Structures are given as structure tokens and as C-alpha cells.
Structure 1
């Protein structure tokens, strides 16, 4: 695990779409691009691939796709916080649209992550959820409206600046990530320029003919958008 997170950052979440070698190829390309452009890259991988991807030492911060809240004990087929930390995970993504948690489960998962030093990215479907989750003080709140997930909508997202401010008010040092429908580098740039501290894309990177090149383009665009926002609102961006 490597230190605290600062913006700008970009997340890629391969879900279970790729085999290990393919994920590793994306990881290496994304890590190099992140280093070139000053963008922290988060890569959310299947649990069994946390250790090998982390072992590449390519500069990406490896997130697990989720975890159980069980403590160490005689359970079987449970992914504990301790096992993720021992595998080298930087953090864990919680409450993804494909793996939702109820309120009690989420709070316990956050507690367990803190106990072992894992950073946390908590997914929210609405601004109300984003603010409520920010009060629990995860590392990142990812606000991703379900209507945008898996789409290629490039329109204005007028809620980004106001929801980012609301997340900051609710949670000390919580970072605001905005995603959903980030299908092109131009959309990633626009989202960052609108006030996001991080963004991400899965389909935009993984469906490209050249995934490695796509990762580089998205990461470069993330940096450009972040710099545009800082020039526009130097006193309000972190």
C-alpha cells in the first residue's frame, strides 16, 4: 500500500472481463501514463489478481472489487480485510452497482478496512447517497448515476461542481470522483474540468482496439481537465 491519495486520479475497473495477462498489460501502460502525466491510477481487479498485479510494481494502486466483513476465524470462502492487506491491496471498492451493500454492511466494511489500513472507494447512485457516505469518511466517494453506467453520454453534467462541494462539506478530506458513461477521453476531460477530483472508465478502455493506447489517452485527458479546472477556479480546487 502506498500513501494517501491526491487528485487528479483515474480508475479502471476490469470487473471479470479480462484474464490476468490482459489486466497486467493495461496496468503497465496505465502506470506509465499516470507517471508521465502526474495522475494517480487506481486499478480495481478481481481478488485473486490483487497480489500479482501489485507485484508488477508498475505504479498503479490496486483496489479489490469488494470484501466480506468477517474477522479472522474458521470461515471459508470469505475475503477478509486482512487477506486483502496481506495480498498488497491499496484499498477496496465498496457498494458498486453490481455488488451493493446495505447501510449496516457498508459501515462495518469501512470500519474493517480502516482497521487494517486499506483505503476505500464507496460508490453512490445519488447526490443524497454521496453526501451520506461522505460523512462516513471513506477515502473517495464515487458518484455514478445508474442511468449513465454503460452508456456513452457526453452531455453536460451540471451536478458535478455542487455535488463535489457537498461531499467536501460532509466528509473531512473525502475526495469526489465522478463517473458513469465516460466512454471517450473528451468526456473524461470535461468531467474533470467541471470539478471532479477523479474519474474513470471501464468500457471506454477495455472495448478499444488498443486498450493500452486508450488508457494512455484517458489518463492524459484526465490531467488536461484537472488543469483546466484549476485555472478556472484556483481557489476552490484542492
Structure 2
């Protein structure tokens, strides 16, 4: 069985100015050496990416963006291309977060282009998938995950699937304070792994699958201790360096 390094990513969404980003990292980065059992990623807003890269240099903490355009350049006002991110020293990018899908109409067709564009640029995609409350209540969780992954990974070449990080985020647990039970999270993640393995067996073993749904220090050990759960995509709890460090510790247990 492939050894998978746990990954814990801080999705700050539209929080933290440049000064606040620097203050967070001044507090968090010195702790990173004690957390070397997990890969640590911070995902600040665009204006803070370059300052974050500078603050994290040499620390092992990686920096990722929260979105990107699928084209490398062009007349797309307000968008940012993958090569622009790599030039800054950014290592990865969140793709398909539920807020992007629900609030900005991001489609699976667009994500199918973004995933290979990110890989081609040298970025690690953190691809988010998950069902709404209505879909879960209708017993459609597996159908939704299958549809999203089949579409979103359609253009990713075989041999590179293992480079994609997948985050299972039940939409009904994002920013609501609710959470999937550890059993629900583990079942969904196991199903996601089976879908990847069906396409490419080696990738099914190697791909890292995170949980992202109101993870906080109080529930991190129980959720992240489940077999097959390779880390977390953390929202609100990642805004505090002490809380984020506690979740990173839980991912290593």
C-alpha cells in the first residue's frame, strides 16, 4: 500500500489582509518544524500570495491559491492564470470549492479544463467535490460524487491522477457548524478512492483524499484518525494559528 503523507490546508476564503497574513505566518511558521509529519498548506487571498510565499520560504509550509482560470492568458478580466501563480512561487490551487460552484456558477466543464491546466503549470490541484443536503437526503451522495469526478477529471491524463489532491466537502457542512459523522466522511472518502482506482489502480492507492466540512480542533482527531482520510481542508478554524496547528497535529496521529 502506498504511503500517503497527510496534508492539511488552510482555506482562508476572503479573509486576512496582507498585514494579517504576515502576522499569522509569523506566529505559525516557527511551529512548522514540529509538524513535519504532515504537509502544511496555506491558501490566502490573491493579494497575500506573494507575501505568504516570502514568509514561508525555507519553512516547509506551502502556499496555494483559491482559484485560477483554465487559460494561460487572454481577455478574461478579473481572472488569474496558472503561470502567474507559479511565477509567484505558489505550489497549488483549490479548484471547485462549493462556494465557487454555488455562488459563481463554476461548472464541471470548466473544472475539467482547470485540472490539467494546473498540472501542466506545476501546481497541485486540490479538487473539491461533495453533495448538498438535499442530495444526501435523497441518497444521491455516491451518484453526485461519481458525476463530479468523472467530469472534473475527464481531461487529466492517466499517470498524473495521483498528483491531484481530492477534498470531500459535504456542502451541508460548509460553514454551518454541522459535520458529517466520522463514519459518513470515511464512507464517502472510500467511495471516492474506489472511483479513482477504477480508472487507474496505482492512483487509487496514492491519491490523497481530504475531509473538508467544519473541521476544528475538537473533532479533528476523530475524523482524521479514520483509515483513508489523508488530511483536511480547513475553513474557519484555519484563521487562528493555534487552532490550525492543533488540526495539523491531529492529522499526524
**TM class, shorter-chain normalised?**
0.7 to 0.9
Q: Where does residue 52 of structure 2 map in the other structure?
A: 53
Instruction: Give me the TM-score of the superposition, normalised by structure 2.
Output: 0.75
Q: Where does residue 42 of structure 1 map in the other structure?
A: 41
Match of 2:185 among 160, 178, 191: 160
Higher-helix-fraction structure: 2
Deviations 1:84-137 (A, max 9, x none): 111111011011122122121001001211221111001112353444555523
Closer/same/farther in 2, CA of residues 155 and 16 from structure 1, 3 Å limit: closer
Q: Where does residue 232 of structure 1 map in the other structure?
A: none
Match of 1:151 among 168, 173, 176: 176
Between 1:83-92 and 1:143-152, the stretch displaced more is 143-152
Matches of 1:187 and 1:175, distance apart in 2: 20
Q: Where does residue 221 of structure 1 map in the other structure?
A: 250
Q: Where does residue 121 of structure 1 map in the other structure?
A: 126
Cα distance, 1:69 vs. partner?
Answer: 1.6
Matches of 2:207 and 2:145, distance apart in 1: 11
Kindly indicate whether the alpha-carbon contact (under 8 Å) linking 2:9 and 2:234 is maintained by their aligned counterparts in 1.
yes
Matches of 2:186 and 2:207, distance apart in 1: 15
Deviations 1:165-194 (A, max 9, x none): 222232213211012121x31311111112
Q: Where does residue 94 of structure 1 map in the other structure?
A: 95
Closer/same/farther in 2, CA of residues 48 and 205 from structure 1, 3 Å limit: closer
Aligned pairs for 1:2-151 (under 5 A) are: 6-37=4-35, 38-56=37-55, 57=57, 58-73=59-74, 75-100=76-101, 101-126=106-131, 127-128=141-142, 129-134=144-149, 136=153, 137=161, 139-151=164-176
Deviations 1:54-96 (A, max 9, x none): 1121332111110112233455432111111111110110111
Count, aligned residues = 215
Deviations 1:127-155 (A, max 9, x none): 53444555523621111111111133467
Closer/same/farther in 2, CA of residues 59 and 212 from structure 1, 3 Å limit: same
1:99 match: secondary structure: helix
Q: Where does residue 230 of structure 1 map in the other structure?
A: none
Question: Mind listing any 5+ residue stretches in structure 2 that lack a counterpart?
Answer: 132-140, 154-160, 197-202
Instruction: Give me the TM-score of the superposition, normalised by structure 1.
Output: 0.80
Kindly indicate whether the alpha-carbon contact (under 8 Å) linking 1:29 and 1:216 is maintained by their aligned counterparts in 2.
no
